[in-house]
Structure 1
Amino acid sequence: MSGYSIQGRQVVNNSFSAQKINEPAFDAVFLILIVLLSGMGLTALFSSSYHFGEAVFDSPFYFVVKQLVWLSLGTGGAVVASRIPLDFLKNYIPAIMFVSIGINLLLYVPGLGFESGGAKRWLELGGVTFQPSELIRLSLVLYIAKMLEKNKGRMKDLSKAIVPQLLVIVVSTLVVYSQNDFSSAALIFAVAFLMLIMGGMSPVFILIMGAIGSLAAYIMLKSKPYRINRVLSWLNPESDPSGAGYQVLTARKALQAGGLWGKGAGQSTMKLGALPQAHSDFVFAIIGEEAGFIGILTVFILFGLFAWKGYSIALKADNDFKKYAAFGLTSAVYFQAMTNIAVVCGFIPATGIPLPLFSAGGSTSLITLIIFGLLLNISRRSPDKSGGEA
């Protein structure tokens, strides 16, 4: 009897050991990329913000300390997101979507909404501000991924498959747009639209939705004179070099001043006051000035590798929800990064979109790290092409 028990324990122990050995590990390369992006972003933020922090807040470490706090919270969120059972999470996605929209509507509660630069985009509680539109950036991707899985093979059914998703997309976009945040609303809509295309939406619906979206964007753009001025100053910044075109021209000078190798860490002159928001939307210009073309190329490569790994995770996913979620989450971060870089390089008009993990802004860093955690989660449970685990 005792021998049987021992043998039974051995079987159990051997089974447990095999389970531990076969348990899929995180994508190591992707994890290294997250660390590199976070570390380089924090370094760039400190270099671009210490002068402004000392001049305005009497502390050169003001912004970097705040960023460290948010990165710590984001790291905790990423750990939870990387370990939470995805089937469990999927059950609560509609509720998460509903709560995200509700939190955004709190901006209109007196005493909660914080306004800056004519835009009411932040909730303020106890001196801490948070941009709730970042929650929609995350929750809408998860919601569409769930709906696309649910409606697999039915994406040509307008009333049952398309309309319910479009309603949530439109409401989410309008909620963000109402915060005087046209750029974020457009970016959220673009990612959602691409996910529907990937999900097999009918070409006819794609054309109709694309046309309606383009018309709505045009109307929204024309509704505010300053948006038109941004476009005009982007097309011809020299026409108003000390006004609307100033930021575009100054960012260009910073990038050109860096040359191949840059002026060296901490040696930027544009961040001393010449370039407004050097630590925020235009931190990439300071990277170019201090680290030169090599620094710019490094940032491009890191985000490019992130996109490659993220989309690879989507391709290897073992079910439709993971595939669509990985595609949308990767796009949400990568498109945001490329939009910011395109603005700084003068390829598109100024948008106010931050560079994830580089620009000052705890909300973006927190949600970006949670997105990274979810991607790690999907990578840990996705088989590779040979049939093993990734």
Structure 2
Amino acid sequence: MLITRRWELLREGSFGLPHRKSFLQDAAVEGLPDPHFFSRLSLMNFRIPSGPVVTSVLLMGLVLATGACRKARNQNTDLKQASSVVANELKSNGLGTLPGAVYRSQAGSPIHWQPWTKATLDRAKDANRLVFGVIAMPQQPGFQSVLESLAKDPALVSSINGTYVPVLIDGDASREVGLLTADLCAEIKRGLQLPLFIWMTPEGNPVAWIPAGKSSGANIADLFNQSHSIVSRMWVEDSDYVMKNSAMDNSRRRERIAQRKNVKVMSTQPAEDTVRGLRQLASFYDPHSRTFDEAGGLFPSGAIELLSTAAVHPGLPPEVRSRCLETVRELMIDLLPSAMFDPLEGGVFSSRRANSWALPAFNRDCGSQARAAVALIHAYRATGNKQALERALGLIEFAEKTYRTSEGLFAVGLANEAEASAWLWSVED
């Protein structure tokens, strides 16, 4: 009873008069010496000081109270560390000659990147280390600058190589991880953003993750260090808890994905829904403001191809075909002479920076050229616009010149990200 009362007073910050009587009674009942001492103390309205000294005392009490449990956990962790074995493969960059732009770009990195394989996870288990992964996709060239930021900082390289098993994951080649990225971003209420930093247990269960692209607005070194300090400390203090908790979370995640996979969303009237969808898509274009709502910032290759195909499809109502054709014609007026097409080197930019096609984001990749070329050929077939055909042939020529490999194929993800300052005039210029 005395302890309860004293804690109540401590919580309120003073030994005040309202609690004096019961406090003294409790002291007398417990047989404490000289209850008048507490009486004198209460009359002084003594206030508990707040500051680092008191905080230190309270924290020390918590440490002493939990010391036995923590000591046992630390002993368990120490045993694991003592028996850990770091394989020779983890002491150097293991990407070697893996195909693809993501792996090729980091084959010479000082970070000891490993491939996403079961053997790598087994080595992480033997080394008693977490996996630090970076999930990237070649269709998004921003991954190159992020990985370069990690590789050029000696302190970061040392932390990554000395603490984790670093794994570079091509989300396009390892589709299961690429698809998982969308769910992980949704769990932290973020849109899909790549590349993604992810910490995993040797079993491959996610522990923590954070988008690291330009849209995150954070310095890459700061972004890594903040997460690294927390995750690495958790692992050192209680790796068993991290393993167990992440396994439970991932099990629930798999259940949610399985439930979603088994839910089939199919139209019961596909013909009617198709016509309705085409009408709605065509209605997004406003010929007065010259805007295409709900199209986002990407070059609208998909919309152009679909509307152009619908415009000449004999099975659709004439009113729908006419509306789709008119929308394609207006889009060609907006797009073909716009800054989305590079007049110097050729090619089409993948996206725009604002609501107008007059200011593109200066990124080009092989996939965007292919999709735009196909869409413009369909637009030419529907409208007879010769400039659309010329643009399409120009994109094919640009892709062959820029992205063709020695094997006769086309490479995705090899284009470097371009800064806007390299394309725009400055005031001084």
Range into which the TM-score falls when normalised by the shorter chain: under 0.3
Task: Provide TM-score, normalisation by structure 1.
Answer: 0.26
Of Structure 1 and Structure 2, the greater helix share is in 1
Task: Provide TM-score, normalisation by structure 2.
Answer: 0.24
Whichever of the two has the greater Rg, that structure is: 2
